Amino acid sequence: METTVANQPYQVNEKGYYGHFGGAFIPEMLYPNVENLRDNYLTIIQSPEFQKEYNDLLRDYVGRPTPLYRAKRLSEKYGTNIFLKREDLCHTGAHKINNTIGQILLAQRLGKKRIVAETGAGQHGVATATVCALMDLECIVYMGALDIERQAPNVARMKMLGAEVRAATCGSKTLKDATNEAMRHWINNPEDTHYIIGSVVGPHPYPDMVARFQAIISEEIKWQLQEHTGKENPDYVVACVGGGSNAAGAFYHYLDRPSVKLVAVEAAGMGVNSGHSAATTALGKPGVLHGSRTILMQTDDGQVVEPFSISAGLDYPGIGPQHAHLFASGRGTFLSATDEEAVQAAFELTKLEGIIPALESAHALAALGRLGAGPNDTVVVNLSGRGDKDMATYMKHLD
């Protein structure tokens, strides 16, 4: 995990901003909790005792380091050198647990007795329920009613792990609405509850804290790529972005290496201009969502637009403030992939490499043909999760 004090143009500044984006746009009811977190998170996570427990759990419980796999047949197909960072092999099936392990250890040190979380695809919900079982803390997960229907296996896992899954029935009944409900729950329970946000969104310090817990991804990529190729910097790092936590982790140690192209792939849904999309940077404008100034999809009147994606984990109308800064500053390249392109990419990876990716990660794979990467280039794709939870969707496309 990254613990050095950030003093770089793409990292959070002392006021909690990434360029114009970030901050803590929260009602007064949340202020004391967020302030408590802001004042303590760095001290706690930088302590040697925390570091030891966190790193031991990542190794022995999560199964880190995850492999960096050279995908030979996929590389041949695209005429470049593709490596897959296998976050899909983490315990619980995605990168999400890197963050929940960190935050549960933090919650314990803040004396919290109960955990609340939001979830989209259910991966963060499962990762949160898992660490709550591990640490014997009460766990409440808000999930959009629509997502509860389309991610049934993860709902069952959360319940078996002892979490209470509560349906968010307002709005589009997806991730945005689950996040609203989790924030309301935190407002109603300010003393004993810690809110484990699953992505690099929310008020400062969440985007920075979650990015630090996910930074292990690029920390490992550096030495693993060195072992594979003799150099630690790839030419491209590619990751999908909903809120953007796996991308934030995969980009983290390359932010200040301008030779490394950072490629974020958003969900275009049925097409960027179809009216059924979640391609935030293509469709959004600066504004405030879930406690931070960022880029979000909204009407001229400032109402948040309901996003659409086949992938519940990318079905979100905003992006983390750091990603908004990477987009606005030009440091990041933002592409998008449609539902159909993502499904095709998932089948392609399965056929060529025997790996069934999560629908979210399939969006990153769908951008491979559009990078412009040549035979001398090295491309790292963050394979953020595995596809078990998406089998019902994939089965529909099997013929």
Partner 1 sequence: MNRITTLFKKQQQEGQSGLLNVYFTAGFPEANDTLRVLTALQNSGADLVEIGMPYSDPVADGETIQMSNDKALENGMTVKLLFEQLENMRPAITVPVLLMGYINPVLQFGIEDFCKKCAETGVDGLILPDMPMDVFLDEYKPIFDQYGILNIFLVTPQTTEARIRQIDAISEGFIYTVSSASVTGSQTGVSENMEAYFEKLNAMELKNPRLIGFGIKDHATYSKACEYSAGAIIGSAFIRVLAEANDLEKDIATFIKSVKAPSVATA
What CA–CA distance (Å, rounded) separates 393 from 395? 5
User: How is residue 188 written in tokens?
Assistant: 């109603």
Q: Among the options 199, 311, 361, 384, which is catalytic?
A: 384
Whether residue 32 is preceded by a cis peptide bond, meaning omega within 30 degrees of 0, is no
Near partner 1 by CB under 8 A: residue from 304, 342, 365, 366: 304
Q: Which is nearer to partner 1, 302 or 369 (CB)?
A: 302
Residues sharing a CB contact under 8 Å with residue 262, sequence separation 6 or more, in sequence order? 237, 247, 251, 254, 255, 326, 331, 332, 333
Q: Among the options 85, 96, 112, 389, which is catalytic?
A: 96
Q: How far is the CB of 269 from partner 1 (least distance, A)?
A: 19
Q: How far is the CB of 4 from partner 1 (least distance, A)?
A: 26
Query: Among all chains, which residue has been given the structure tokens 């659409």?
Result: 308
Near partner 1 by CB under 8 A: residue from 3, 8, 9, 31: 31
- Among the residue ranges 24-32, 267-275, 308-316, 359-367, the one whose residues contact partner 1 (CB under 8 A): 24-32
Q: Which is nearer to partner 1, 195 or 213 (CB)?
A: 195
- Is the separation of the CB atoms in 227 and 73 below 8 Å? no
Is 118 assigned a catalytic role? yes
In the sheet that 292-296 helps form, which strands lie side by side, from edge to edge?
17-18, 21-22, 292-296, 285-289
Whole-angstrom CA distances from 254 to 59, 222, 245, 261 are: 23, 9, 15, 9
Q: Which is nearer to partner 1, 31 or 223 (CB)?
A: 31
Please tell me whether residue 24 binds partner 1 under the rule CB under 8 A: yes
User: How is residue 9 written in tokens?
Assistant: 């143009």
Please tell me whether residue 67 binds partner 1 under the rule CB under 8 A: no
Near partner 1 by CB under 8 A: residue from 14, 136, 227, 300: 300
What CA–CA distance (Å, rounded) separates 101 from 213? 9
Please tell me whether residue 20 binds partner 1 under the rule CB under 8 A: no
Please give the radius of gyration of the chain, using alpha carbons only, rounded to the nearest integer.
Answer: 19
- Among the residue ranges 49-57, 168-176, 245-253, 334-342, the one whose residues contact partner 1 (CB under 8 A): 168-176
> What residues act catalytically?
96, 118, 384
Question: Which residues make up the interface to partner 1 (CB under 8 A)?
Answer: 15, 23-29, 31-33, 170-171, 176, 180, 183-184, 187-191, 285-291, 296, 298, 300-304
